């Protein structure tokens, strides 16, 4: 039905306040709020005391089941109140205000901004500004202390140890990005964290270098070769030695100069479980345990000639055993397991299932990783490409388990992960004259195969939609609408068509988005949207309700983001569902919130965002 403004009246201005109503779907939303608010901030700077920059701000709260929505403008009011003192130390106060003002059990805040340092060239001393990406984030759940995380993205240079060792002269090098996130006990300078990362690579990156500086940087990198695995471990060793950091993660991506892909490594560390993990490693893998493919040399020694198939990697001049050294096979003494190491952004042609035509040809961006044990120096990146080439004629959701099995076997790994991101096209027909045009949707097929477990497969699709805001129902001159993206990720029991998942999402919004619309079609779409107003919360819940009704989907997540047409921000909602949770919760949607929902109902607590 057309929204007619029949809703509770807001005491401030007498206009209808649609968000104060209750919601019968009883689906809790994990995060609802605003994203991409551009806002000036001052951040601490050791050299100058502070520096002015511009942040992109995301703010969200938890929305309990039964509550229609949250007042988005209140996030902006809170931000404006704290605009003169936005820093890591101010985040707890902002989170507290968000919980109080929006009457929410949990709140989340994230500020992403560029941070600048004056950096001197190593020889000439020429000074120029160097930019680093930074993120301050905080989450405060019910009755818990704020959880604060600082993240920094640092550009570095790496030089390949294998390339250096097997070549008569020269070695390939590349630029990379290292992303470090930390939880900490006491204040630290951002500059110190950046320096720690830069000192862990082959060389730093500079904004300004003259010829003498370039010579120094080139030779420094050549004398300090690093695999992507070495970089994350070097950063981790230094962070582990500082008890200020009780949790951290390190991700490094090298944009390879002679390969058509990136090399990638990621690890996560928690100080609470480190002692137990080390004891387990020592019990299962003594220090002298051999790495995959028959290694067992001390770090820095040459490995036996093998490429994993019993064949020599090739001859190398000057190598005493007549074959090329295999540096990746050496042991590593830092005793840090790497959760993911592999290749990213491999562009590859694939065929995917298509209901109308049987299949369609498209191009995927492929990521492939394995787990690397703590005493193994590296992995052979070329083998990922060999595996993909072997399966290139049959890359689909049903083939992912076989590819994962090959990755584990070929790289002798305990766990493997594969991800294929690709555009998927559906022919859409206009209402006016039936003309056909292709509509693009971004899809992701992914799978993880851990030791002793079945492959865990997910499918994700991002669907563009149109929404019309229900709030201004008393304004007869019109209603603002916006384009948005709804991203749905599912775990499933049996095959389904991607087209059906796309249709499910489009049917949950005010309207779909079309690549071709004639004048008659535009009128039809506009009228359809006007009769079906939707908040971002409504769209997320409607998608979830439809997925919940299909027992093929035993887990899913839904994220909806709308670029507001009359606000300088995006509206955002996210929820996650596991069918076991619903069974535990009975009639509710999430097991972990059922008790709170009953308590709120019994006490007559106001919905999130209600009241002055």
* Superfamily of structural domain 146-280+330-336: Urate Oxidase; (3.10.270.10)
Q: Got the DSSP string for 547-612? A: HHT-TTEEEEEEEEEEE-SSSSSEEEEEEEEEHHHHHHHTTSS-GGGHHHHHHHHHHTPPPTT---
HSE value, Cβ hemisphere, 13 Å, CA-based, for 140: 19
Closest CA to 329 of 350, 314, 308, 312: 308
pLDDT band (50, 70, 90) for residue 106: very high
DSSP letter (8 states) at residue 97: H
Q: What is the C-alpha separation between 78 and 603, in angstroms, rounded?
A: 27
Q: Per-domain residue ranges for the chain?
A: 146-280+330-336
Q: What is the pLDDT of residue 210?
A: 95
Using one digit for the tens of pLDDT, what is the confidence trace for 122-171? 999 999 999 999 999 999 988 888 999 999 999 999 998 888 888 888 88
Stated length of the chain: 612
Residue of 518 and 394 predicted with greater confidence = 394
State how far Cα 477 lies from the chain centre.
41
The pTM assigned to this predicted structure is 0.79
Q: What is the C-alpha separation between 343 and 213, in angstroms, rounded?
A: 31
Helix (H) or strand (E) segment spanning residue 281: helix 271-284
Confirm if 407 and 384 have CB atoms less than 8 A apart. yes
Q: What is the C-alpha separation between 146 and 552, in angstroms, rounded?
A: 37
| pLDDT at residue 547 is higher than 60 | yes
| pLDDT at residue 530 is higher than 70 | no
Confirm if 372 and 229 have CB atoms less than 8 A apart. yes
Using one digit for the tens of pLDDT, what is the confidence trace for 111-122? 999 999 999 999
| pLDDT at residue 377 is higher than 60 | yes
Q: What is the pLDDT of residue 165?
A: 83
> 3-state DSSP call for residue 282?
helix
Closest CA to 58 of 109, 127, 23: 109
HSE value, Cβ hemisphere, 13 Å, CA-based, for 381: 24
Q: Got the DSSP string for 37-89? A: EEEEEEEEETTTEEEEEEEEEEEEEEE-TTB----THHHHHHHHHTGGG-SGG
Confirm if 341 and 372 have CB atoms less than 8 A apart. yes
Q: Got the DSSP string for 162-219? A: HHHHHSSS---EEEEEEEEEEEESS---HHHHHHHHHTTSSEE--S---HHHHHHHHH
| pLDDT at residue 581 is higher than 80 | no
Residue of 565 and 292 predicted with greater confidence = 565
**Both tokens assigned to 316:** 């190398």
Q: What is the C-alpha separation between 576 and 586, in angstroms, rounded?
A: 17
Q: What is the C-alpha separation between 249 and 269, in angstroms, rounded?
A: 6
Q: What is the C-alpha separation between 147 and 370, in angstroms, rounded?
A: 30
Using one digit for the tens of pLDDT, what is the confidence trace for 156-209? 999 988 888 888 888 888 999 999 999 999 999 999 999 999 999 999 999 999
Q: What is the C-alpha separation between 133 and 439, in angstroms, rounded?
A: 34
Using one digit for the tens of pLDDT, what is the confidence trace for 378-418? 788 889 999 988 886 666 777 899 999 999 999 989 999 99
């Amino acid at each position: 039905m057309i929204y007619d403004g029949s809703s509770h009246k807001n005491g401030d201005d007498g206009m209808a306040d649609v968000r104060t109503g209750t919601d019968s779907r009883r689906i809790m939303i994990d995060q609802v709020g605003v994203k991409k608010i551009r806002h000036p901030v001052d951040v601490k700077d050791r050299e100058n005391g502070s520096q002015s920059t511009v942040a992109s701000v995301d703010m969200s709260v938890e929305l309990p089941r039964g509550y229609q929505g949250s007042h988005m403008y209140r996030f902006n009011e809170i931000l404006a109140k704290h605009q003169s003192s936005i820093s890591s130390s101010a985040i707890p106060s902002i989170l507290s205000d968000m919980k109080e003002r929006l009457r929410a059990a949990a709140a989340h805040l994230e500020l992403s901004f560029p941070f600048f340092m004056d950096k001197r060239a190593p020889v000439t001393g020429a000074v120029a500004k160097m930019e680093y990406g930074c993120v301050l984030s905080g989450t405060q759940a019910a009755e818990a202390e704020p959880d604060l995380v600082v993240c920094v993205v640092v550009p570095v240079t790496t030089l390949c140890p294998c390339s250096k060792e097997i070549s008569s002269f020269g070695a390939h090098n590349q630029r990379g990005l290292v992303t470090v996130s930390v939880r900490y006990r006491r204040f630290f300078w951002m500059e110190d964290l950046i320096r720690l990362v830069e000192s862990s690579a082959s060389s730093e990156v500079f904004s300004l270098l003259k010829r003498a500086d370039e010579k120094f940087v080139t030779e420094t990198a050549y004398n300090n070769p690093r695999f992507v695995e070495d970089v994350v471990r070097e950063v981790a060793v230094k962070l582990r030695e500082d008890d200020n950091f009780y949790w951290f993660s390190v991700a490094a991506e090298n944009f390879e100069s002679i390969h058509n892909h990136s090399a990638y490594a990621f690890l996560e560390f928690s100080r609470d479980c480190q002692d137990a993990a080390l004891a387990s490693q020592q019990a299962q893998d003594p220090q002298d345990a051999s790495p995959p493919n028959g290694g067992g040399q001390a770090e820095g020694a040459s490995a036996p000639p093998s490429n994993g198939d019993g064949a020599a990697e090739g001859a190398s001049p000057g190598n005493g055993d007549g074959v090329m050294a295999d540096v990746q096979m050496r042991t590593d003494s830092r005793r840090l397991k790497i959760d993911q190491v592999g290749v990213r952004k491999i562009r590859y042609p694939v065929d995917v299932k298509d209901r109308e035509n049987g299949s369609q040809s498209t191009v995927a961006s492929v990521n492939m990783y394995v787990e690397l044990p703590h005493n193994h120096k590296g992995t052979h990146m070329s083998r990922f490409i060999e595996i993909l080439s072997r399966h290139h004629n049959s890359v689909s959701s049903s083939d992912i388990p076989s590819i994962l099995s090959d990755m584990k076997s070929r790289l002798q790994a305990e766990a493997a992960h594969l991800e294929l991101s690709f555009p998927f096209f559906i022919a859409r027909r206009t209402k006016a004259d039936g003309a056909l045009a292709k509509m693009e949707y971004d899809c992701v097929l992914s799978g993880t195969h851990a030791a002793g477990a079945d492959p865990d497969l997910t499918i994700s699709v991002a669907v563009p939609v149109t929404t019309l805001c229900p709030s201004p129902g008393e304004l007869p001159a019109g209603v603002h609408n916006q384009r948005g993206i709804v991203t749905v990720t599912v775990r499933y029991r049996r095959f389904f068509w991607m087209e059906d998942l796309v249709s499910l999402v489009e049917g949950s919004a005010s309207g779909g988005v079309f690549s071709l619309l004639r004048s008659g079609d535009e009128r039809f779409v506009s009228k359809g949207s006007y009769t079906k107003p939707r908040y971002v919360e409504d769209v997320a819940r409607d998608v979830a309700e439809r997925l919940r009704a299909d027992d093929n989907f035993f887990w899913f997540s839904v994220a909806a983001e709308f670029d507001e047409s009359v606000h300088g921000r995006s509206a955002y909602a996210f929820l996650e569902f596991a069918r076991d949770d619903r069974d535990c919760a009975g009639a509710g949607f999430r097991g972990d919130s059922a008790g709170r929902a009953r308590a709120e109902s019994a006490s007559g607590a106001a919905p999130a965002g209600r009241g002055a």
